[in-house]
Structure 1
Amino acid sequence: MLVAVGLGACAGPRGGSGTFKQTVDSATSSCRHSPSLCAGADAVVPVPRAVQLAVVVAGAQAMLDEDTRRAVEESLKKCADDARSEILDQQHGGKSPTQEECKESIKTPGGESMTRAIWFGEQMHTLALECAQQKLESILPGRFSIEPTYRFDPSTRTTTLLSAEEVMLLKQPRFVSELKGTIVPDIVIHSGSPLKVTGVYDFKFPCVNPNKPPAWRTGANEDGSSGRTPSQKERYMEAFGLDETQVLRVIPRLGVFR
């Protein structure tokens, strides 16, 4: 699973106290928030098979018109701006942290130790996704998903959408390795089917005030090989059959970038 860690784009696991309305095709984190929904560590739980469907490259009829796209991106930018402002107001006196403050280890309300950069990134992501859910419901009802989970098989060039129930099961310790290689975009725009993707947006929250867009993250090669690894953007493009204009970053204060 692609995970954001570090100062450049301080997005960690999507935790925090906020919750956002789930669409039927959104991946959830219900196990984290409601452990009773998950089987115990000693239970034998069969992992349901995901429905295997090839991603269909969306045709022109599924693309957003310019006015709708502008409305989507303006709304997402406002969500990012507001989320950053609210968290900094609540937890840092309204001021942007310095690089030194971003590196400091802090204790979260839940007792976890992490850097201020990761903690702020988690909280900002939570608020931004709540905001995006609300705004996109009025702009693109039925044509977006919040944090859906996919698995892409490069050998067959097929992409699998995991159900919310399947994700809950796989987050249990005994199955968590099965999540390796999955991708979880923040926001997927689609034709009405989350496998017919027409655009992807990811929020990026640098800890210090950004003066330029942070780079897309990279991770380990899926096959364990060395050498250059695909960026997060490249993985999205390959999995969903998109071009570089359809996979975008949303950065507070700066806006939307490829």
Structure 2
Amino acid sequence: MKHAAAFACIKERLPENLRGNFSVEPRYKGQPEVNGTVLTNNKLDSFKPDLVVHATRNATNIQCVFEFKFPCYERHRLDPMNSLGVKDQLDGYGKLAKGCRVTLVTPTGLKPYEGY
């Protein structure tokens, strides 16, 4: 429910002329460093970031990736990177984001991911 509320807020506040530059929860497949990335519906070996900034009306020309985390446990709230699988997930998204670092969005603020 927190993700749905965040996505609704983003869509509501985006200026009309920028809406073609964002995708919410697109699913990508491929090896960006080798043969590029395509949109897919196949879950196997694919990436599904929460929010992607991309070239106008070209979701495969990825500029930045944002991942939302709403940790339930207090120790993960302080550092969502301690949640199981988060580092692997962000490393995968790092292969997609060519223009900027993957950014983790949490209730405590924005945190650029320094891995990959």
Tell me if TM exceeds 0.5. Answer: yes
- Please identify the structure whose Cα radius of gyration is greater: 1
* 1:255 equivalent in structure 2: 109
* 2:53 equivalent in structure 1: 189
Unaligned runs of 5+ in 2: none
Output one character per residue of 1:170-213: Cα deviation in whole Å (capped at 9) or x when no partner. Answer: xxxxxxxx421111111000111111111111110011456523
> Percent sequence identity over matched residues?
28
In structure 1, what is the Cα distance between the partners aligned to 2:106 and 2:61?
A: 25
Aligned length: 109
Structure 2 residue matching 1:179: 3-state secondary structure: coil
* 1:234 equivalent in structure 2: 91
In structure 2, what is the Cα distance between the partners aligned to 1:139 and 1:206?
A: 33
Identify the match of residue 212 of structure 1 among 78, 82, 87: 78
Output one character per residue of 1:97-148: Cα deviation in whole Å (capped at 9) or x when no partner. Answer: xxxxxxxxxxxxxxxxxxxxxxxxxx11111111112222447221101111
- The runs of at least 4 consecutive aligned structure 1 residues that moved more than 4 Å come to none
Letter in 1 for 2:101: Q
Whether the 8 Å contact between 2:21 and 2:55 is mirrored in structure 1 is: yes
Over aligned residue pairs, what C-alpha RMSD do you find? 2.7
**Pair 186,211 (structure 1): closer, same or farther in 2 beyond 3 Å:** closer
Q: Which of structures 1 and 2 has the larger relative contact order (alpha carbons within 8 angstroms, sep 6+)?
A: 1
Whether the 8 Å contact between 1:151 and 1:183 is mirrored in structure 2 is: yes
Q: TM-score, normalised by structure 1?
A: 0.37
**Pair 195,185 (structure 1): closer, same or farther in 2 beyond 3 Å:** same
